[in-house]
Structure 1
Amino acid sequence: MFDRISYLFLFFALLAEIIGTIGGFGSSVFFVPLSSFFFDFQTVLGLTAIFHLSSNISKMALFRKGLDKKLLLYIGVPSVLFVILGGILSNYLDSYILKIILAVFLIAFSLLFLIKKELVIQPEPKQSITGGALSGFTAGLLGTGGAIRGITMAAFNLEKTVFIATSAAIDFAIDFTRTIVYFKNGFIHQHDLIYVPFLFVIGLIGTYIGKYILQFIPQERFKQTSLVLILLIGVVMIIQIAIN
């Protein structure tokens, strides 16, 4: 059984979880592009949804005091609604062009907020709902919407525990919903379920390590760290697209 497991893939999963916890937007933004080197796109979607369920339970437990119920409502509800739409369309649309669009979007917007450091978007309903809808839709369609939600929430200049706890709670609702959609799409294959217990443990360990590292990052540097990681995600996606 163990000879069919890629330990390099599991190492990348752990790295993605640690970085995703530090950045506050979840592991999928690194997990999806890295996993695409090992599996077909549909399998990546299925594994990502399952992996995220365990990692977000860990984050909600470790950062539960920071949960912002208002943002959870404004960002979370449209995220769940649009992840269903994205998950259904993932069975029909060409993901290649959409990956390019997402990568360019991440690079452009992260650079905007890195350069314009004084630019802060207020967490008003309109901005929150728009960011949540985009995040959910891309999560369902491409397997990763956390970076868009990360951009939205980083722009709100939130305290880091609020950022991580709220993002994890929203992500959990998204992952629970899209797991059902992906299962109906046939993206969750029986021969790939061998990775599920490993990914569950990695989700717990990676979150804990990320939380430990996070205590050494001052609040004023947290937003910048998140945006730099999002920029790197966009670059990784462009490199992956170019290689393929």
Structure 2
Amino acid sequence: MNKISTLFLLLALLAEVIGTIGGFGSSVFFVPIANFYFDFESVLGLTALFHLSSNISKIFLFKKGLDKKLLLTIGVPSVIFVVIGGFLTKILDSSVLEIVLGVFLVALSLLFLLRTSLIILPNTKNAITGGVLSGFSAGLLGTGGTIRGLTMAAFNLEKNVFIATSAFIDFLIDFTRTFVYYENGYIHQHDLIYVPFLFLIGLVGTYIGKKVLKLIPQEKFRKISLLLILTIGLITLVNILLKLF
């Protein structure tokens, strides 16, 4: 694409702001939006590059909240499995996997919204499982932050800890999968015209999101995160059904 789409950039900014507020990154909104403008391979490449800048911003703005234990238990398996998922994009049908992801997100978010007393025990097993699933999904579908966000929301973390830790893990994932996507040939030269704009959007969107987040009480944060995840799951399902039919 040679011509810049202003609407696409505005939607990317909105995705970054909402992703910052939700704490699970912009890709969960950015990927469905970008799918309307680019082919699937280009979406994967641009998402990885866009996320690098937005997560650097979040790490800088929320660095005091980093949870080093979760960084290890969720981050390490995420990095390992994002490589596996990234290479499998050349083999597996992404449409089926997007449907599975959408159903999974809708079902789990509804479960936690309807049963407010239900929480996932904050143990190493659950953290590692969330890391494996989010990393694999990020590599395969371009977005895994919702699964990681669902895991971390269930841990009922303080919002600054939630965002800082999620952003650092996301940065490691994006840094790793950028090399995988480059090797796969997903980073196309004709799409790079958008990268400087997306880098700026990552910075500005994160800053706006942080300002908005200060207005949200801690007790409402978990519910908002789950509602956003439910919305993302529904968008994912509608988007893939529109493609199929």
**For 2:215, what is the secondary structure of its paired residue?**
coil
**For 2:186, what is the secondary structure of its paired residue?**
coil
| Cα deviation code 1:186-229 (max 9, x no counterpart) | 00000000000000000000000000000000000000000000
In 1, distance between residues paired with 2:121 and 2:59? 24
In 1, distance between residues paired with 2:103 and 2:69? 30
In 1, distance between residues paired with 2:115 and 2:34? 32
In 1, distance between residues paired with 2:158 and 2:13? 25
Q: CA deviation at 1:39?
A: 0.5
> What's the Cα RMSD here?
0.9
Q: How does 1:17-166 map to 2 (within 5 A)?
A: 17-166=16-165
In 1, distance between residues paired with 2:11 and 2:41? 18
| Cα deviation code 1:115-144 (max 9, x no counterpart) | 111011122110000000000000000000
| Cα deviation code 1:19-65 (max 9, x no counterpart) | 00000000000000111011111100000000000000000000000
Which residue does the alignment assign to 1:14? Answer: 13
In 1, distance between residues paired with 2:205 and 2:26? 9
In 2, distance between residues paired with 1:152 and 1:26? 14
Which residue does the alignment assign to 1:203? Answer: 202
In 1, distance between residues paired with 2:56 and 2:31? 19
In 2, distance between residues paired with 1:123 and 1:34? 33
Q: CA deviation at 1:4?
A: 0.7
In 2, distance between residues paired with 1:152 and 1:217? 20
2:104 partner amino acid = F
Q: CA deviation at 1:243?
A: 1.6
Instruction: State the percentage of identical aligned residues.
Output: 70
Q: Is there any run of 5+ residues in structure 1 with no aligned partner, and where?
A: none
Q: Is there any run of 5+ residues in structure 2 with no aligned partner, and where?
A: none
1:98 partner amino acid = L
In 1, distance between residues paired with 2:200 and 2:143? 21
| Cα deviation code 1:136-173 (max 9, x no counterpart) | 00000000000000000000000000000000000000
In 2, distance between residues paired with 1:86 and 1:25? 19
Which residue does the alignment assign to 1:187? Answer: 186
In 1, distance between residues paired with 2:126 and 2:188? 37
Q: How does 1:162-177 map to 2 (within 5 A)?
A: 162-177=161-176
2:56 partner amino acid = I
Count of equivalent residues: 243
Which residue does the alignment assign to 1:217? Answer: 216
Q: CA deviation at 1:174?
A: 0.1
The TM-score, its normalising length taken from structure 2, stands at: 0.98
Which residue does the alignment assign to 2:230? Answer: 231
1:157 partner amino acid = N
Q: CA deviation at 1:76?
A: 0.1
| Cα deviation code 1:69-122 (max 9, x no counterpart) | 000000000000000000000111100100000000010000010011101112
In 2, distance between residues paired with 1:179 and 1:221? 34
